[in-house]
Amino acid sequence: MLQTVMFRSLWAYRGFIFANVRREFQQRYTHSLLGGLWAVLNPLTLIVIYTVIFAGIMQPRLAGREDQAFAYSVYLCAGLLPWTAFAELVNRMQSVFLQYGNLIKKASFPRSCLPVIVTLSVLVDFGIIFTLYLTFLLFVGEFPGWVTLAALPVFLIQLAFGLGLGLLTATLNVFFRDVGQSVGVILQFGFWLTPIVYSPHILPESAQTLLWLNPLYPLITAYQGIFLNHALPDWGSLLVIAALALALLLWAGRLFMNRAGEIVDEL
């Protein structure tokens, strides 16, 4: 019932949500000569740096792909770009109620609009950089074809997990400010405990088994398999994280709805 009420409120305030997403995007480039072009130049620079430095200068090689000049760059970006979107979503979400504290006190609108605004803003950024990544794959002859479509359900699972975790930390951070401080530390550990810049095959077998305790590991592995091996993910390995993401999202949503009135008082 609470979820139904929340969705109805979000739909009623959809104009408010989209206006704030657009305003947030525009404010980043206000008074800049190139304007919105920076939204393309920044992620393009990121991809070029990883491609030139890692594929050209450092020349790392993946086992069995020593003859493929861009194999490591494809592998790196396939894990790094989704991880960056996940980390940005969680990191921005955990402070959303504190960031918009004055607006919450002064204006009357569903508080659930704020997490949605953050989520859509992150999706816009990810959509731009992911489009550039696909263009890069076309340019170097590594585009996986129709298998690319398999990345969509993988990303939806990631989005549900990130939104659930972000909403949970956002709600708790209002009452316990240490939660927000710890999110950045946990994300840093999470990055290095996920095989993004390294291959899991370089780890001992015992450590490879422990990787499955990391919820992001099957998702990142799925992306890397799609874009590097041009292969469909092992959907069975994603069932656990999908169930976890759904349960976390529902639990975080219920906690938020139950505490929405107290959030205003705490702010």
* Confidence at residue 148, expressed as pLDDT on a 0 to 100 scale: 94
pLDDT tens column, 158-169: 999 999 999 999
Residue 31 sits at the vertex; the CA angle it makes with 26 and 33, to the nearest 5 degrees, is 100
How many domains in the chain? 1
* Confidence at residue 39, expressed as pLDDT on a 0 to 100 scale: 62
C-alpha–C-alpha distance, residues 246 and 234, integer Å:
19
* Confidence at residue 168, expressed as pLDDT on a 0 to 100 scale: 93
- Radius of gyration of the CA atoms of the chain, in A: 20
* Confidence at residue 266, expressed as pLDDT on a 0 to 100 scale: 67
User: What is the CB-side half-sphere exposure of residue 224 using CA atoms within 13 A?
Assistant: 22
* Confidence at residue 231, expressed as pLDDT on a 0 to 100 scale: 92
Least Cα distance to 69 among 142, 135, 138, 131 occurs for: 142
C-alpha–C-alpha distance, residues 244 and 250, integer Å:
10
Residue 53's domain spans which residues?
A: 2-266
SS3 193: coil
Residue type, 202: I
* Confidence at residue 239, expressed as pLDDT on a 0 to 100 scale: 94
pLDDT tens column, 9-45: 777 777 888 888 888 777 766 655 655 566 666 667 7
Cβ atoms 267, 105 nearer than 8 A = yes
CA separation, residue 10 to residues 111, 122, 233 (Å): 9, 18, 33
* Confidence at residue 227, expressed as pLDDT on a 0 to 100 scale: 94
Would you state the structure tokens that stand for residue 120, as one six-digit string?
């859509």
Provide the residue-wise pLDDT of the chain in tens; the chain has 267 residues: 555 666 777 777 778 888 888 887 777 666 556 555 666 666 677 777 776 666 665 556 666 666 676 788 888 889 989 998 999 999 999 888 888 777 777 777 777 888 899 999 889 888 988 988 898 899 888 899 999 999 999 999 999 999 999 999 999 988 888 887 888 889 988 888 899 888 888 888 877 888 888 899 999 999 999 999 899 999 988 999 999 999 999 999 888 888 877 777 666
C-alpha–C-alpha distance, residues 52 and 72, integer Å:
11
Burial of residue 236 (number of CB atoms within 10 Å: 0-12, 13-18, 19+): exposed
Residue 81 sits at the vertex; the CA angle it makes with 80 and 85, to the nearest 5 degrees, is 115
